Amino acid sequence: MRHIGYILLYTVLAFVAVFQIFPIIWLVLFSLKSNQEIFAGNPFALPTDPKWDNYLKVFEGGVGTYFWNSVWITVVATGLTILIASMATYTITRMHWKFSSLVLGIIMIGLMIPIHSALIPLYNMFLNVHLIDNPLSIIITYTTYNLPITVMILLGFYTTIPREIEEAAIIDGSSIHRMFFQIILPLSAPILSTTVIINMIYNWNEFVFVNTFISSDAFKTLTVGIQNFIGQYMTDWGAIGATLVISVLPIIIAFLFFSEKIMEGITASAVKG
């Protein structure tokens, strides 16, 4: 019976894996077709004449710039969020001060604010400080909106770090800053990996803020730049598919590298939280 159970389990897991991988395979095949083949043939068929020039076409259309903008904005915003959230969580959970609960409550309120309700106030604020059509407005917005969920994930881990570790560091003459950066952050590596992936996925795929605050092609990210291949009279669907493949690959690669750390982070949070 145990062997039958294993066979059934692996069969179900294999089916789920195929079901999840198939859209990626279909997208790659879609990116290698022309408009005529996409609409005239079987949508699940292999391309009869693979259009590899679709990828060349999108890079000629500025996808390289959009890709680079997505990379550096995602990296900077994710790094700022992790750093600020880590310091805030450490301060709230490991230090005794009067308004720690109030500050935590204010941060958690950010989870209840819908993105679209803040678009007009944010636009007016950035307009007044001359940050419209400036990547800094996107970085500030991403960092702020990801801060509450990042703090919430870190809370369960930080509250259970043994006090003896900090006491030993203080006895050895360590300052608060040195203790945080050389002891607490390395201990938090598994849970930080989880928050890094969550932040990266949100920042990389975000569309609304970039579409609202950025108008210059020089600062657009992939999610917004893809609109350049949508014309008034004709849309190049093969080029759009190629752009989507390029935009999906970094997230898949990052997940493959961080998947083990993500599982460690989830386990650590579940056990200690």
Question: What local confidence, expressed as pLDDT, does residue 52 receive?
Answer: 87
| pLDDT class of 264 with cuts at 50, 70, 90 | low
Of the candidates 2, 136, 1, the residue with the CA atom closest to the CA atom of residue 77: 136
Q: Using CA atoms, how far apart are residues 191 and 159, in angstroms rounded to an integer? A: 13
Question: What local confidence, expressed as pLDDT, does residue 79 receive?
Answer: 95
Using a pLDDT cut of 70, give the percent of the chain over it: 91
HSE-up (13 A, CA, CB side) for residue 150: 30
Query: Structural domain boundaries of the chain?
Result: 62-272
Sequence-distant (≥ 6) Cβ neighbours of residue 71 within 8 angstroms:
250
Q: Using CA atoms, how far apart are residues 26 and 245, in angstroms rounded to an integer? A: 10
Question: Contact, 198 vs 222, CB < 8 A?
Answer: no
Question: Contact, 255 vs 184, CB < 8 A?
Answer: no
Whether the per-residue pLDDT at 48 is higher than 50: the answer is: yes
Over residues 6-12, the mean pLDDT reads 88
Q: Average pLDDT, whole number, for the chain? A: 85
62-272 maps to which CATH number?
1.10.3720.10
Q: Which residue do the tokens 């915003």 mark?
A: 77
Radius of gyration over alpha carbons of the chain, in Å?
A: 23
Whether the per-residue pLDDT at 272 is higher than 50: the answer is: no
| pLDDT class of 5 with cuts at 50, 70, 90 | confident
Question: What local confidence, expressed as pLDDT, does residue 273 receive?
Answer: 43
Over residues 77-92, the mean pLDDT reads 94
Lowest mean pLDDT among 2-11, 81-90, 100-109, 249-258: 249-258
Over residues 16-41, the mean pLDDT reads 85
Question: What local confidence, expressed as pLDDT, does residue 198 receive?
Answer: 87
| pLDDT class of 53 with cuts at 50, 70, 90 | confident
Question: What local confidence, expressed as pLDDT, does residue 70 receive?
Answer: 93
Question: What local confidence, expressed as pLDDT, does residue 77 receive?
Answer: 96
Over residues 128-144, the mean pLDDT reads 94
- pLDDT 10s digits, 204-241: 989 999 999 998 888 999 888 887 777 644 677 888 88
DSSP letter string, 103-156: HHHHHHHGGGS-TGGGHHHHHHHHHHTT-TT-HHHHHHHHHHHHHHHHHHHHHH
Whether the per-residue pLDDT at 155 is higher than 60: the answer is: yes
Lowest mean pLDDT among 78-87, 128-137, 225-234: 225-234
Over residues 123-145, the mean pLDDT reads 94
CA 128 from chain center: how many Å?
29
Question: What local confidence, expressed as pLDDT, does residue 89 receive?
Answer: 92
* Residue 113 or 261, more confident: 113
Whether the per-residue pLDDT at 268 is higher than 70: the answer is: no
pTM to 2 decimals?
0.82
Over residues 113-141, the mean pLDDT reads 91
- pLDDT 10s digits, 179-197: 888 888 888 888 888 898 8
